[in-house]
């Protein structure tokens, strides 16, 4: 992607984020289930359910560590502009990210981890496969296998 196209994409992204933030006069209505792109199916999955100021979180990876936590991990949610902070109720909770930003992608509001957003701001390609998409029907029995519905 050439420099002009990259700047145009970044400017569009910034304007969309500012529009989402500016249009909100109260706490964001993020209640519902958010899942990682289905591009990761089989190798990684992430599900986040937000209800009011509380969350439940599940994660799956084909790389299994020696100390896998019991899921779901739960806690409180704090809102700070376009930033959503997950505050787990257990100390040292290992989450993919504790800070998520509201972003607009192809006309859809999504969540993007702080580290992925910083990477993009540093010149990396936009990490669309790392977005969390809101889904309508969520099965808590198979949280990381949920798929978002296709949008036209």
pLDDT in tens, 76-109: 999 998 999 999 999 888 899 999 999 999 999 9
**pLDDT for 146:** 76
From CA 28, how far away is CA 19, in angstroms rounded?
13
> Higher confidence at residue 91 or residue 124?
124
Question: Is the per-residue pLDDT at 23 higher than 50?
Answer: no
pLDDT tens digits, 27-79: 447 899 999 987 777 778 899 999 999 999 999 877 776 777 889 999 999 99
Confidence of residue 152 (pLDDT cuts 50, 70, 90): very low
**pLDDT for 75:** 97
Alpha carbons within 13 A on the beta-carbon side of 82: 21
* pTM, two decimal places: 0.76
**pLDDT for 2:** 57
Question: Is the per-residue pLDDT at 145 higher than 70?
Answer: yes
Average pLDDT, stretch 119-147?
90
**pLDDT for 104:** 93
Question: Is the per-residue pLDDT at 136 higher than 80?
Answer: yes
List C-alpha distances in Å: 54 to 74, 86, 112. Answer: 7, 9, 18
Domains by residue range for the chain, with CATH: 3-140 (2.40.128)
């Amino acid at each position: 992607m050439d420099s002009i196209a990259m700047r145009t994409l970044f400017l569009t992204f910034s304007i969309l984020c500012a529009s989402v933030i500016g249009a909100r006069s109260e706490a964001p209505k993020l209640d519902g289930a958010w899942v990682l792109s289905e591009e990761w199916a089989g190798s990684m999955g992430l599900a986040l359910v937000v209800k009011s100021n509380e969350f439940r979180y599940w994660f799956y990876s084909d790389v299994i560590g020696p100390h896998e936590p019991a899921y779901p991990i739960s806690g409180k949610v704090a809102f700070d502009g376009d930033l959503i902070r997950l505050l787990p109720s257990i100390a040292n909770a290992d989450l993919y990210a504790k800070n998520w930003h509201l972003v607009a992608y192809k006309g859809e509001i999504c969540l993007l981890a702080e580290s992925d957003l910083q990477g993009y701001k540093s010149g990396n390609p936009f990490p669309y496969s790392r977005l969390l998409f809101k889904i309508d029907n969520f099965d808590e029995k198979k949280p990381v296998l949920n798929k978002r519905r296709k949008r036209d």
